[in-house]
Amino acid sequence: MTLSSLSQKSFRLKASHYLWLALFVFVLFLPGRATLPPLDRDEARYMQATSQMVESHNYIDVRFQDKPRYLQPAGIYWLEALAVKATGTLKDKAVWAYRIPSLIAAVGSVLLTVLIGSILFDSYIGLLAGLFLAVSVLLTGEGRMATIDTTLLFFILLAQSSLARSWMARLTSEKLPLSVGIIYWVAIGCGLMLKGPVVLIPTLLPPIILAWVKKDRAWWKHLHPKWGWILSILIVIPWCVAIWIISDGKFFTDAVGTNFLGKVASGQQAHGSPPGLYLGIFLITFWPGSLFTAWALPFIWKERKSESVCFLLCWIIPHWIVFELIATKLPHYVLPTYPAIAILTSAALWNISKTWNGPTSRWGRWLLNIYMVLWVIVGLLLAVGGIIYAHYMTGIWFWAAMIGAFGALLLIGYTVACFVKDNMQRASIVAIGAAIVVYLELFVVLIPGLSSEWLSGKIAQTVQLLKPCENSIVASASYSEPSLVFLVGKETKLINPELTAQFLKANQACGLALVDQRDEKHFTDYLDKEGLVVKQLGRIHGLNYSNGKQLDLGLFKVKE
């Protein structure tokens, strides 16, 4: 059985299979959604901007505190606002509600990966690819956060499913229903409302490259490009007109000129890196599937001219090159390529013919063995690192997590044993099981155990307990994380020690100041000049995990 014959469907997933898979992925991504605190810094900004949108009923002009947030269109804020309003959790500051869109999108992305794999190859390949994506480190993290990227991935995959159907229909002269084209252009329109023109890279570049490589554009007609693009425009144009009027055009100069083009030219927010970063971190971000992708590379190259592999390569390579060349680099920028990588990897693993059993050259096996050692090290760090960190933070050894880590290490060891014996299908399934055990250990045991140690949460609890007035406002001189604004209140001031002292002078009855011990002298020196005396209401100790600094914060108010 050759790769070209894998498209002959020996097994097709039914609707009931997809429902069971959806339930499995839902349960897999559910732990940690409520116990994981607002992650600084982007997630907390999304949450706070959404909270303000719901409170103000202004669903056009997105803001964080009093500043416009002109980074991308309002689509993700609408979805999160819908989730918050539907659950009635606005006043509770329940972080899980803001993460509902990413949960649904993660489940949908896995299902669409299975579907695309089934269209291009076989349902077995699609199912294994979906599992690889579901347990990848990158989607495991992104899928639990109230950010934009998992939701964007869902709509990209929705568009890719239509592309895949159109591409494969050229081999059978199948006439596709109108809905295939409608889904493609609607998905692009939704993607534009989420992250602007970025969505065009993974959705429009592949068909352009495919047409160039295969010298065939006839298949494109299945997607009705003559009028389909109008659907995409109709989705985005009403909001674009509204924000143009409200912001007097500033949204487009900031979002396109400053944010989008700025990221291309220079590394923003200290995220600049040279080309090659994504290749370097792939071992971690696609773990545990990364080992099998490395094993499959020669096979993928061998089959590069086959229709299905060519489609996936034209999906992966242009996107990857574009984001390797862009100066600003964040791991999730290449997330849209991971489903395609998962499908290619699964196709190699499920190659039932005996024409491929991995690299055969000495140097190929040598490199693969080095990669396997690095893969094992990543697994060890994932399984054990959280336990060590939790002990460092709390002084407690979490025995349930240690049992889970022991089980994960056994599975990792068994994966290596299967891998060495060239039993790749079994090795891949065991590796997926090891990843599931690791994530259960992290999100069921360790993160709930650490929930009381998150600094912003401790500050919010202390302020709620000790604030002198119902409407007290906190000025923070030493801790400026957006999660503090989300948990303590929109009016929270993130300023320097001198401005914090000035704030207390102007708000002597109800004002509160949050100052680290390293900034206290500067803070009190200014107060002394003004003849003001403060009293300490309490102290909060903790780690700012955004920058790794230990903080010893005092909560102050003016002494009456």
| Interval 269-293: pLDDT, tens | 544 578 889 999 999 999 999 999 9
CA proximity to 330, closest of 455, 483, 544, 148 = 148
How far is 101 from 79, CA to CA, in rounded Å?
A: 6
- Give the pLDDT confidence score for residue 262 in this predicted structure: 53
What are 475's two structure tokens? 């000025």
Residues 6+ apart with CB under 8 A from 350: 6, 121, 122, 124, 125, 128, 425
CA distances 212 to 206, 224, 363, 534, Å, are 10, 19, 34, 71
How far is 60 from 57, CA to CA, in rounded Å?
A: 9
What are 14's two structure tokens? 């039914």
What are 417's two structure tokens? 């044993």
pLDDT in single tens digits along all 560 residues of the chain: 344 444 444 568 889 999 999 999 999 999 988 888 887 678 999 999 999 999 999 999 999 999 999 889 999 999 999 999 999 999 989 999 999 999 999 999 999 999 999 999 989 999 999 999 999 999 999 999 999 999 999 999 999 999 999 999 988 877 899 999 999 999 999 999 999 999 999 999 999 999 999 888 888 988 999 999 999 999 999 999 999 999 998 998 887 766 655 555 444 454 457 888 999 999 999 999 999 999 999 889 989 999 999 999 999 999 999 999 988 888 999 999 999 999 999 999 987 445 566 666 788 889 999 999 999 999 999 999 999 988 887 888 999 999 999 999 999 999 999 999 989 999 999 999 999 999 999 999 998 888 777 888 899 999 999 999 999 999 999 898 999 999 999 999 999 999 999 999 999 999 999 999 999 988 988 888 888 889 999 999 887 777 767 889 999 999 87
How far is 513 from 500, CA to CA, in rounded Å?
A: 6
- Give the pLDDT confidence score for residue 328 in this predicted structure: 83
What are 435's two structure tokens? 């990843």
Q: Is the pTM of this model over 0.75?
A: yes
Count how many Cα atoms sit within 13 Å of the Cα of residue 283 in the half-sphere of its side chain: 16
**CA 224, 341, 136: angle at the middle one, nearest 5?**
120
- Give the pLDDT confidence score for residue 5 in this predicted structure: 43
Distance of CA 513 to the CA centre of its chain: 34
- Give the pLDDT confidence score for residue 352 in this predicted structure: 47
Count how many Cα atoms sit within 13 Å of the Cα of residue 475 in the half-sphere of its side chain: 23
Domains, the chain, ranges and CATH? 40-127+140-282+306-333 (no CATH), 362-452 (no CATH), 454-558 (3.40.190.10)
Q: Label residues 532-548 b or e (16+ Cβ within 10 Å = b).
A: eebeebeebebbbbbee
How far is 46 from 152, CA to CA, in rounded Å?
A: 15
How far is 380 from 409, CA to CA, in rounded Å?
A: 7
How far is 355 from 220, CA to CA, in rounded Å?
A: 34
The tens digit of pLDDT for each residue in 442-493 reads: 999 998 888 777 888 899 999 999 999 999 999 999 898 999 999 999 999 9
